[in-house]
Chain A
């Protein structure tokens, strides 16, 4: 297969492997950038600042070659959204802005033993959407009155993560195995989370939030790989539930405060910042360790949040289907910095590095020891939500994902239109009605969210996941279609 070269105004991209393009280091860049995308997708983002932002990340100390961008890349703050960067344990840094404000914003996919046919037959989708909307708090500053935590309870939750929810009756212990890191980052330190962050978060557990967060009732539309789909326990027409939310106000506050700390310490640590949002702390410094402790605590909050929401979802469905059975297919993080092990060339032993995934997900290969026994032969389920009107995809991590992308893949479709552009495009249209005509029931707390999040505001997810498959990072398992959507 012929590899191509792409000359953009600021960068030259050499295709080094099918669908993976390298930008060699220049100027202040310490390492190269690998862009995972089709030529068409690259040409569509060439005018925004996302590639430039990826090159900025390569200027941070201790960064490992290469910094990567996923095909859903778009311009963010500091790091691009869809960026992956790993840092050496001894010489590297952790960047609070590189993780992002919504720490461990992530996705959980629940399987049910229901079929789309059952929902259609009893005309239940709309009812369920309404009930889910009423029970699961969403929208700005949403809180749940019956789940108010004391400071002591919150601190325990921040240490224990999803198992806190299980210990308190929200779900089954067997579900933990199907959550990235079993729903708990062990280095969480609630003492590094400020009182302010705790004040913001303590009554937001079990809430969805707003913006791009959502809850969807979906069904399996197409199966691409019957063997893997069977291992994942999927059949065509089966009803699934997808939950997308994160650490809410607690995470936002942690991020803001540690960006300030990073900026205040930049001189002390001799870190030259080309963009303030890249503010970073050495992994070996006390400040860096404190951030990791606080970030992990916020990540545990998010794991717990998704665990509790999925428990409530089940209870609502059970009212209609007492025989309902659900299982967690998988639960993955989108915005995170984590200690992970990788093998590098010329080194027999694996090395512990700090991987930042900003708007990217983990996509571990078959046989990886951290995957549950059930997924040892298939690779990790990679959940890629699309927009609310089209499809979402379920992929499986490919054998070479560790070498190609630090075991990472794309996290969604990525925005195509800004929020203002989306509003212009939606003028005079009834988006909710348009979706309903296509059999998708939507309930949202405000019209603004509906318009800003309308299907056309996002890239076509199929193009995005096709790039991931083409680059041999993950393979297709199934395509999921939305039936009902709850938006904050």
Chain B
């Protein structure tokens, strides 16, 4: 089966930036948000998926889970230089994620320059579902650069 193509929009902010993602399920929304975040650093199609890392995140609610999850993606990059291409959830219940991430280590020669993202914020964070014309989950996330 061909892989579903990630689509997201970059958002404007005076000193920072963000993204807006839509996905067919809540689970997919978290995965696509992580992919959008990665894509803002290094284009996904430049990342191979030869290495695997695992990640577990818990939070009090869906919004916090999204922010914490994305901050963990940033942590993996800063600590291990790890960029994820493909993500599989082993467990997801809206308050907890445990995931396997497939990707590779950042290589400046291969991946080029990366603009630093300091943190994922709660600023105007939106996470919701539209039921018309069909079920669509969406998230709006701003980043501190």
Binding site for B on A (CB under 8 A): 48, 74-78, 81, 97, 100-102, 139-141, 196, 199-200, 209-211, 249, 252-253, 255-256, 259-260, 263-264, 275-277, 279, 415, 418-421, 445-449, 452, 488
Contact = CB atoms under 8 A, between A and B. Distances in A.
B46 interface: no
Contacts of A421: 12
Contacts of B41: 140
27 contacts: A75-B14, A75-B15, A77-B123, A77-B144, A78-B123, A139-B116, A140-B116, A141-B78, A141-B106, A199-B79, A210-B116, A211-B116, A249-B78, A256-B67, A260-B67, A260-B68, A264-B64, A276-B123, A277-B121, A279-B122, A415-B14, A418-B12, A421-B12, A446-B115, A447-B113, A448-B115, A449-B115
Contacts of A102: 118
Given A75-B14, A102-B118, 15 more contacts: A141-B116, A196-B75, A199-B79, A200-B78, A200-B79, A211-B118, A263-B64, A264-B60, A276-B123, A276-B125, A277-B122, A419-B17, A421-B12, A448-B115, A449-B115
A310 to B, nearest CB: 22
A141 B81 contact: yes
B14 A140 contact: no
Interface in B8-47: 10, 12-17, 41
Contacts of A196: 75
Contact of B15 (A78, A97, A263, A415): A415
Contacts of A447: 113
A321 B60 CA distance: 58
**Residue of B67, B79, B112 most packed against chain A (CB within 10 A):** B79
Interface string B101-123: 00000100000111110111111
B122 A276 contact: yes
A196 B71 CA distance: 11
B145 interface: yes
A99 to B, nearest CB: 12
Contacts of A418: 12-15, 17
A101 B78 CA distance: 15
A256 B119 contact: yes
A275 B123 contact: yes
Contacts of B60: 263-264
A433 to B, nearest CB: 18
Interface string B64-79: 1001100100010111
B142 interface: yes
Nearest to B77: A141
Contacts of B120: 256
Contacts of B115: 140, 210-211, 446, 448-449, 452
B64 A260 contact: yes
A77 B116 contact: no
A109 B68 CA distance: 37
The 7 closest A-B pairs by CB, nearest first: A446-B113, A276-B122, A77-B123, A210-B116, A140-B114, A140-B116, A101-B119
Contacts of B71: 256
A248 to B, nearest CB: 9
Contacts of A139: 113-114, 116
Nearest to A203: B79
A259 B122 contact: yes
A75 to B, nearest CB: 5
Contacts of A449: 113, 115
Given A76-B15, A249-B78, A420-B17, A263 B122 contact: yes
A31 to B, nearest CB: 23
A249 B112 CA distance: 21
Most chain-B CB neighbours within 10 Å: which of A249, A256, A275? A256
B91 to A, nearest CB: 21
A439 to B, nearest CB: 26
Nearest to B72: A196
Given A48-B14, A276-B122, A419-B17, A446 B112 contact: yes
Interface in B48-70: 59-60, 64, 67-68
Contacts of B123: 77-78, 275-277
Contact of A209 (B77, B112, B116): B116
Given A200-B75, A200-B79, A277-B122, A420 B12 contact: yes
Contacts of B17: 418-420
B78 A419 contact: no
A75 B78 CA distance: 27
A100 B123 CA distance: 12
Contacts of B67: 256, 260
Contacts of A97: 121-122
Contact of A81 (B10, B15, B75, B81): B15
Instruction: Count chain A CB atoms within 10 A of each CB in B14, B17, B68, B119 and give the residue with the most.
Output: B14
Contacts of A100: 144
A488 B116 contact: yes
Contacts of B144: 77, 100-101, 252
A276 B16 CA distance: 17
A393 B41 CA distance: 34
Contacts of B106: 141
A211 B113 contact: no
Contacts of A259: 122
Nearest to B123: A77
Nearest to A446: B113
A1 B32 CA distance: 58
A298 to B, nearest CB: 13
